[in-house]
Structure formats: C-alpha cells, structure tokens
Structure 1
Amino acid sequence: MNTDSDFPPVPRSRSAHGSPAHGQTTEPEPDPTGSRTAVAVDNPDGVDLAPYTIPPVPAIGWDPGASPRRRRIALGLLGAVLTVQAALSLRLLAAAHPDEAAAMVAGRQQLAHLLHGTPVTTDLVDRVHGSPWLYPPLAGAAADANGIWGTRLLSLGFALLTTVLLYSLTRRLFNERVAICAIAVYAVLQSTVVVGFYAAPESLAVLLVALAAWTTVFTARRHPALALLAAPPTALACTVAYSAAFAVPALMALAFACARPYHRVGPAGLRALLAALGTLVLLLPYGTLGKVAGWSPSHGNAPGSAGSILVATLQWAGLFTVLAVAGTIAYARREQMNEHDAPERDAVPTTRGLRALLGATLTVTALLVPAAHLWTGTSGALFRHLGYGMLLAAPLAGVGLTRLVGAHFRHPQLGILAWVALLALGLEQSALRYQNGPDSGRLLAVLAAHTQPQGRYLTEVDGLAEYYLGSVSKPEQWVSARTGTEYRDGAGVQHHGDDGSVAAIRDGWFTMVVLDSTAPRATDRAVSEALSTAGHYRLVAQFTSPTGDSSTYKVYLKH
C-alpha cells in the first residue's frame, strides 16, 4: 500500500429530518487522535451497532512491520532467483578458456609451493592480474579436487553469495520489493552468468566488493569509526584482482552518501575518509598499493576499437544501465513510493539532493568501467569488469523496475517485459561468450601431435597446453609470449620481453610457436614479423572463431 492511495468520498443522502437515508452510510469522521477514521453504518433494523474504524495506511510500499509472512515470501523469492542464476551458469559447458587454464596451472604450482616448498616453474603467475597468493591457490585446490568443474563451481558459490549480499544491502537501503527486483535483474546479466561459472579472480573480487558495500550500508547509522570495517574487504578485493580498483571510488562515496541522512556533513565525511585511509594502509604492505594504482585495463588484454567497445557495452549492459539511470532520476525527483524500509518512527527526512547523491554514487561505476576501456582501447576483459558497475548499480535498477511497475502493481506487464528482455539477452550473450574463441579442441589436438618431452614452446595462448598436456610436457617448457622471453643468444647478449622472443625465434630456439590474435597488438606483431623473416618455421594449422569474429589461432612448427 502507498500513501497516495485515497478512499473516494462516499455519496450520501439524508431524510427530511437530516438523518442518513435507508441503506446509506455517513461521512467518515476522524477520531480525536487523527490516526484512525471512524465510520458509522446505517442500521435499518434498529439494532445498535458499534462503529468500526479504518486502520491507517502504511507510509511505505510494503507494510513496515517485519511479519513472518513477509519474510517468508521475500526469502522464497530470493531462493527462486538464486536457482535461476545457478541454472543459467551451470548450462555453460565448454572446455577451459586460456585465462581459466592459466589460473589453474599457476594455482596448482602456488599451492604446491605453499604446502611443500616446490619451486614455481611456470611464468603463468604473471598472467593473473592480482596477488598470486590469494585466488590462484584456491583455484588450484578446486582443480585438484574436480578439475575445471571444481574451479567453476567455486566461482558459482562466490557469485551466489554476491547475490545474497546484494539482496541484503538493497533491502537496507530501500525495501524487500526493490531488493527482489534488483537481484532479479542482476542475476540474469551476461557478466553475472559468465563470471559465475568462470575460473577467474574477478568472481571472488566482486564478492568482496559486495561485502564492502554491505558493511558500509549496515554501519551507516552508527559511529563513524565503524566505517573502518569496510576497509579490509575493499583492500582484499583490490589485492585479489587489481581491476576491483574500479569500485573503490564508489565505495568511498557510498560511505558518505548512505550516512548523510543520519549524520551531519562532518561525521559523514569522516566515514568516507576513514574508509579510504583504512584501505590505503592495508594496501601498503608488499607494494600492493603500487600494483593496484599502476594497473590499467590494457594489461594483458586484447585491443579493441572505440566502436567495438561501445557496441559491446551497449549489448551487454545497455538496457540494464538505462534502467538504473531511470531509477536514479525517478528516485531523485520523487520519493512518492517511499522505498525506504524503516518504520515511520525511525524514518529520516530525505531531500532531492540526498537522493540524487545516493543514486549517482551507485550508478557511476556502471559508466566508469566502459569509459576506462575506451580510454585504454582494450576490450579483452570488459565482460568481466562490467560486473563491478552492475553490482553497485543494481539497487537503482531495482528502483527503476519498481517505478516501471508502479504503485499497487498497476503495470506489471511492463516490469515483466523489461525482465524478460534482460533474461533473453543474458541467455544469448552468455552462450556466445563461451563460444567466442576459436576451436580449442582442434588446437589441442594439433599441439598434442607435435609436443615433445624435450621441446621448447612459445605461446600466446597461455594455460591451455600447460593444463591439458601436462602428461606429455611440463609447464616450464611453455613460454608465454605475453610476458616475454628471457633469452641469451650465441654472442652472450641477454634479451628480455618481446625482444627475447624475437631473438629466440630468429635463432630457431623454439620447437613450436602458437599465436593468438587477441594477444596484445605489439607482442603479436613482433612475433609474427620474426616468424616470417626467420625462415625456420612453417604454418601447420590455423583456426578461426566459429562465431565469425577476428579471433584466430595459428600454429608454427620448426622445420
């Protein structure tokens, strides 16, 4: 029920003596307290009846009382959304992608080093853009337990916990209705579905960002010092995946925006300052702050034109972003539906400025992530990085969906239409994402046929051969072209990086070279030119993506 629900006046007629006519009711008369409306009923049979009263209309969208029935319904809907999300992710059956394979191989070696002191011999540790001691060992343990399925199920667990935290923090910001709409929208997005079944550190990093946001919202009314509780998950998220730095500005602003209705500007600003300082202090050890600050989307990711990045962003996040921005505008302009969940006695006055601040804080990251990829001209990990912005903007997308439906569910068909459109896009886009690379099965067959126990291999397809061909080769035999080669030529000159790869190819040092067109442009160009001029290698296989994009694998074998 909403405050804009008014009962229409009851028509009445009176007898000649001024009393109500037979079969009519009198005008409602307010009681002395003004909280209930007394209504006298005509009594045609002459029997004295006590007047009844109409209870007051609640001032929020849902009854503010925490009734067991309301909680059961909300938890049932939460379970239904989690089931749908898990089903969408579990249907994505495919071989490991190079990034997943690299994480598992590096993780296994890191885990063995932690447990048994075994030396780390693979250079795939540098392929994981985060601390090698956090996510990779978890991925390695899951891979040891159940291969790629174990690692992907670990990511699925992280994703489902993220959705639960999103529900809880949205409920605290608004109410159950908005929270259910927010998670229903978030759970079917391509980034959510894919990262929820993808062996990458972003799955854990997004969970930690959600935990930091939940902690910030949970402590908004309390002492400013409690804002420090959000610093550990924020710093840990940035350490697990450097890309989580996208969410840090929004988390700091959220510490101010969600506390401002309950505190003056000074204490609210102090909360944001304490959260920022706590995060910085925790990132200082081991040079982590420098790594996070120096990270950019261009590190190890495929190049992309501005047009392709914009098209991908519109396809993967366009409708969701429109819904979130519309929710922000509608919430800032009018709080008619009173999405706040606090009982009236605990309600705080909100102004248009405060509502606009909260909405902009939550939605800005959804626009920041594609802007950063446009600035750096890279698109390789865009589908994973969009998850940070979508997570934080989801509460306002929930507001947008509830406003679209309207008070008293006046237009449920509009909400259903918007959600079905998001579901259809998520289904198609997540399936294409798992088919968006060349045929790795055919590539592995070629590599297995030419792999030798004593061979040396340069590859831009990090991880696949090391993971699937572990029985016929060792990880140290495969050198990542993305990180470069340490090579000393016949004259005793030491070469590094791309120059080392070029010098080794010129001398015919590698047995086989594998190229991937999604590798960094400078590296791919340097290696390709060296192969064409060295005269030691011939092209034995080439596989183009079955979806028709420009991604291609090429395999060169030494004569």
Structure 2
Amino acid sequence: MPDVPESAWSFDARRSVRLGRILLACVLLVQAVLSLRLRGTAFEDEALYIASGHYELANLLHGTPLPVDFNGYFSGYPKLYPVLAAVVDTHFGLTGVRVVSLAFMLGTTGLLYATTQRMFNVRAALGAAALFSVVQSTVFLGYFATFDAPALFLLSLSAWVVVRTGRTHTLAVLLAAPPAVLAFGTKYASGLFLPTLVLLAVITAYRHRGWRALARGVVLGIGCAVLLGAGSLVTGHIGGISQTTTNRAHGTDTAMQMLRDCANWGGLLALAAVGGSIAYGMRARMGEMPWVGSATPGPLRRISLGVVLTGSTLLAPLYQIHLGTETSLFKHVGFGLLFAAPMAGLGLARLVGPHFRNPQLGIMLYVGTLTFGMVQAHDEYSFPDSTNMVAYMRTVVNDKGTYLAEESEVPAYYLQDVTTWNQWQNTFNLDYDAKDGKHYSGPAAFHAAVMDGRYNAIVLRGGVTPDNDQAVMDALKGNPHYRLVAVLPFTTTIGSGDYRIWVKQ
C-alpha cells in the first residue's frame, strides 16, 4: 500500500493548487488597487532616472554626448532601467513608466507565491503573497518609477530558480546567476542579498544531497562572480557604487530611530516570519492527520532556513545604521521582507492552525498589515504637486538660460522639450568662481552666484536643502537682479508649502 498523504492544504492536491491560484489572483488584484490609488506628479528620483534615460538612449543610438556622467553617481547602472523607462516614457509618459513598476511588483508577488509553494505548501504560499503584497514598500514601489521594482523582481526570479532547481543537477543553479547579477546592476543595494541566494541554494538542496549541497552554493557564487567580472569589464568604472552604496556619506540618523521606523514599515510581517521560523524549527509539519507519518526535513535544515530568510530583514537596516542615514530605507526594507515572506506565510498558516481552526487570527494579521501598509504608502507618496510650478516655468524658460531649482530634476524632466539638462542647477551642492575672482563652495557659492545674477530664474520650496536655501534667500533680499513673480501653494501629508519663483530683471 502506498503512503497516505496528509489531507487538506498540507498536501498540494490539484484542487488546492487551483484554488490557491484563484486566491492569488485576488491578492494581486488588491495589491494593484492599493498601488494605483497613489497619485502625484513626478518625484525627484523618478524625474532624474527617466530624464537620464533619454540622454542615455540618445547616446546608445546616435552617439550623442551625455550632459553629465550619470554612471558616476547613480545607485544603478544608467544604461539598464533608465533606458527602459525612457522608452516607455516616450510612448506612454510617466503613468506608463509607473505601470511598468506595477507589473514588476505584481510579478515579484507571483514569484514569491511560487517559491513558497515549492518550499512549503499552497497555504503558506498564499500567506506569504498576501502579507508581502500589502506592506508599505510593496504598495509604494508598485507605482514608483525607480530602480527598485525591477531589482526586486529580478531577486525574486533568482530565488525562484534557486528553489526550483533544488533537486536537479548542480549546474542547473547557474540559471539563477544572470537575474541575480542583473538585479545588482539594476540597483547596487541588491548586492546585500546575493549571499542570501547562495545560502538558499545550499539549504534547499541539503535535504536531498546532504553536505554535497555545498557545491550548489559554490557554483552559484562562482557564476555570479564571473558575470560580475564580465560586467565590470564591459561597463568600466562605476563610481555610483561607491558614492551611493559602499562609501555613502555618513548621516546623523540614530540607530533607534531607524529600527523604530523599520518596525513600523514591516514589523508585522517580520514578527510573523520569526514566529514561522520558530514553529518550523520545532516541528516540520502541522499535522492535520497526526497519525500519518512521512519524511520531513531535518532540524538543521529547518532552523537554517528560518535564520537565513528571516535574518535577511536585518541586512538593509543594519547597513544603513552603519552609515547613519535613513535615506531610502523605507524602500530598502522591502528587499529583506521579500526573503522573510516565505517564513511569514508559514507563520500565518501555523497561526490559523490545522483545519483552519483559528481563521480570525490570520485575518487580524492580514488586516493589520494591510492597514499599516496602505496608510504608510499614502503618506510616503505625498509629493509636492509641481503642476502649476512647471506650467509657470514653461512661460519663463528658453534654450539659452540658466536656472536654479531646489529639485531641478523635476522641471528639467517636464521641460526637456525646451531646455537641456545642463541649463539646470539644483541646490544640493555648488562650486562657483565669482565675479570678484574668489572661489566659493557650499552655501557661500549659492550666495555669491545669486548676488552675481548668474541665474535667469530661481525656484525654491524649502525643506530639502535648508542651509543652501537660506543662503539663496539672503542673497535675494534687496537684490536688484531679481523680482518675485509667483507664489504657488501646495499641500502634502506633512503640511502646506509653496513654490516661490524669482525671475531675473
């Protein structure tokens, strides 16, 4: 007599798989609705990457010189995602580029479901997809035109390949190397999670191969290293890795502040992952028919899997604590949550219990995660509405002037049909040789440039670069070169403000 499989959702019968796919479609629909409800004009980063993509595309197709070395300060290789974004922007505008991000994030959730189902079962897979689909970073990045969404998709694709090839020939794991390296090229911060993929390659094969599974990790590591080396030979020096990732300027944000914010953004999913890891380490399977015995993974593999996947949630927070900066952490935390989600899905399944004994507990966890994610994504997505500012600046700019704007990337993107990139100067940093023959940098440079009447128009909104803004404001007081021509109000979730525009007389 053959072994009798456990009943219900602990055994992925054809009926449960079909039902799981239907419920996954519902999860993806909710995720899409939550992301599509976000609205706003282009954020500074979105405008920067899309506009740079147009210049990179012209360079690739026609050899047009680049206005600046985007490769020197981007957090991803500028000829990957920015070029894709520029192609889409040409035909469908900013909305089209954001929809591409949504497609990447929906694909990420779908691959997460497939990966978790392969490791555990349909019930855990649904829990993982449901929780991950509604956390703040997932909802936000689903309608945000930056490197992050495609990088997450490529990492999830690599993880799926690693798990899917766990029982095949050792060399099959090399199929996971190209998407992993592409994820790194798309966004350099993805490199934090390459060791997780290598360890996952070992753990997923350990049950069937024993210590020979170490060969999978070695093969995958070598494959990634070879591809990274080949990529570096093709692309040359990439200064953006150092400036934005490995040697980023240290900030003053405290560790406690960043840990508290990370707990707000993904604490419920991380807590479920910890619970799932502990439960999985103690018992391999939730016995819906406890009298039925079958082979299960050993405790070493179970504990290792929980530690590696759940521990990945700490990689981005700890690295940014080391740097002392919270910049982009609300997005980066989602990368760790992707890897912790399978254990969170298992934790949700164990919380509900065999035979769906406590469904209310699972519903409470999902609704709580949904509520936090929905509100937090809306708050983070509240950018100043630049519509009126751009419309007014269109009446002022031409192809010969020089313009100072606090977030110059936004008007430079919207007005790229009448201006070029080098006509715009932001307020982040400046070195300036003044008319008095002296060289200035920092706030003094902005003050001297405005006093000299260098710019044909100036746009400030405050709050982004306060020291440099104040230097500009001081130089504008009583300055005969400029007059204030417009004050355009806007409102965000953190308060009201206005764009102030000065034009050279």
Q: For the superposition of Structure 1 and Structure 2, which TM-score range results when normalised by the shorter chain?
A: 0.7 to 0.9
Equivalents in 2 of 1:516, 1:228: separation in Å?
50
Equivalents in 2 of 1:300, 1:323: separation in Å?
34
What's 1:416 paired with?
363
The answer as to whether partners of 1:183 and 1:394 remain within 8 angstroms in 2 is yes
What's 2:403 paired with?
457
* Deviation at residue 530 of structure 1 after TM alignment: 6.2
How do 1:61-210 and structure 2 match up within 5 A?
62=9, 64=11, 66-67=13-14, 69-121=15-67, 128-210=74-156
What's 1:318 paired with?
267
* Deviation at residue 452 of structure 1 after TM alignment: 4.6
The one-letter amino acid of 1:313's match is C
Equivalents in 2 of 1:149, 1:418: separation in Å?
32
What's 2:184 paired with?
238
Aligned to 2:220, which of 263, 275, 296? 275
Residues 1:228 and 2:174 are matched in the alignment: yes
How do 1:513-524 and structure 2 match up within 5 A?
513-514=458-459, 519=464
The answer as to whether partners of 1:125 and 1:132 remain within 8 angstroms in 2 is yes
The answer as to whether partners of 2:75 and 2:241 remain within 8 angstroms in 1 is no
The answer as to whether partners of 2:171 and 2:219 remain within 8 angstroms in 1 is yes
Equivalents in 1 of 2:347, 2:264: separation in Å?
19
Q: TM-score, normalised by structure 2?
A: 0.86
* Deviation at residue 407 of structure 1 after TM alignment: 0.6
SS at match of 1:458: strand
| 1:299-318 deviation per Cα after TM superposition (whole angstroms, max 9, x unaligned) | 59997454543343222111
How do 1:377-526 and structure 2 match up within 5 A?
377-435=324-382, 437-445=383-391, 447-448=393-394, 450-482=396-428, 484-485=429-430, 504-505=449-450, 507-514=452-459, 519=464, 525=467
SS at match of 1:260: helix
The answer as to whether partners of 1:123 and 1:476 remain within 8 angstroms in 2 is no
The one-letter amino acid of 1:251's match is L
The one-letter amino acid of 1:85's match is Q
**Structure 1 pair 83–302 and aligned structure 2 pair: CA distance change class (3 A):** farther
SS at match of 1:335: coil
**Structure 1 pair 300–545 and aligned structure 2 pair: CA distance change class (3 A):** farther
Equivalents in 1 of 2:276, 2:400: separation in Å?
61
Instruction: Return 5+ residue gaps in structure 2 as ranges.
Output: none
Moved more, 185-194 or 301-310: 301-310
SS at match of 2:338: helix
SS at match of 1:250: helix
Identity of aligned residues (%): 37
Q: TM-score, normalised by structure 1?
A: 0.78
**Structure 1 pair 110–500 and aligned structure 2 pair: CA distance change class (3 A):** farther
**Structure 1 pair 476–292 and aligned structure 2 pair: CA distance change class (3 A):** closer
Higher relative contact order (CA 8 A, sep 6+): 2
The one-letter amino acid of 1:202's match is D
SS at match of 1:96: coil
How do 1:206-221 and structure 2 match up within 5 A?
206-221=152-167
What's 2:203 paired with?
257
Moved more, 147-156 or 293-302: 293-302
| 1:342-372 deviation per Cα after TM superposition (whole angstroms, max 9, x unaligned) | x988x4x423232111011111221221222
SS at match of 2:384: coil
The one-letter amino acid of 2:104's match is F
The one-letter amino acid of 1:417's match is M
Equivalents in 2 of 1:303, 1:152: separation in Å?
32
SS at match of 2:66: coil
Structural RMSD (CA)? 3.4
* Deviation at residue 541 of structure 1 after TM alignment: 4.9
Aligned residues: 494
SS at match of 1:296: helix
Equivalents in 1 of 2:319, 2:488: separation in Å?
33
**Structure 1 pair 279–165 and aligned structure 2 pair: CA distance change class (3 A):** same
What's 1:49 paired with?
none
**Structure 1 pair 445–376 and aligned structure 2 pair: CA distance change class (3 A):** farther
Equivalents in 2 of 1:440, 1:314: separation in Å?
32
How do 1:527-538 and structure 2 match up within 5 A?
528-529=470-471, 532=474, 536=479
What's 1:373 paired with?
320
How do 1:344-355 and structure 2 match up within 5 A?
347=295, 349-355=296-302
* Deviation at residue 58 of structure 1 after TM alignment: 2.6
* Deviation at residue 59 of structure 1 after TM alignment: 3.6
The one-letter amino acid of 1:236's match is L
Equivalents in 1 of 2:306, 2:316: separation in Å?
17
Equivalents in 2 of 1:130, 1:551: separation in Å?
32
The answer as to whether partners of 1:253 and 1:361 remain within 8 angstroms in 2 is yes
* Deviation at residue 275 of structure 1 after TM alignment: 1.8
The one-letter amino acid of 1:270's match is A
Moved more, 355-364 or 121-130: 121-130
Moved more, 217-226 or 297-306: 297-306
The answer as to whether partners of 1:106 and 1:122 remain within 8 angstroms in 2 is no
**Structure 1 pair 215–264 and aligned structure 2 pair: CA distance change class (3 A):** same
The answer as to whether partners of 1:88 and 1:193 remain within 8 angstroms in 2 is yes
The one-letter amino acid of 1:175's match is N
Instruction: Return 5+ residue gaps in structure 1 as ranges.
Output: 1-32, 36-55
The one-letter amino acid of 2:151's match is A
The answer as to whether partners of 2:10 and 2:121 remain within 8 angstroms in 1 is no
* Deviation at residue 127 of structure 1 after TM alignment: 6.0
**Structure 1 pair 126–504 and aligned structure 2 pair: CA distance change class (3 A):** farther
SS at match of 2:387: helix
* Deviation at residue 84 of structure 1 after TM alignment: 1.4
**Structure 1 pair 448–161 and aligned structure 2 pair: CA distance change class (3 A):** same
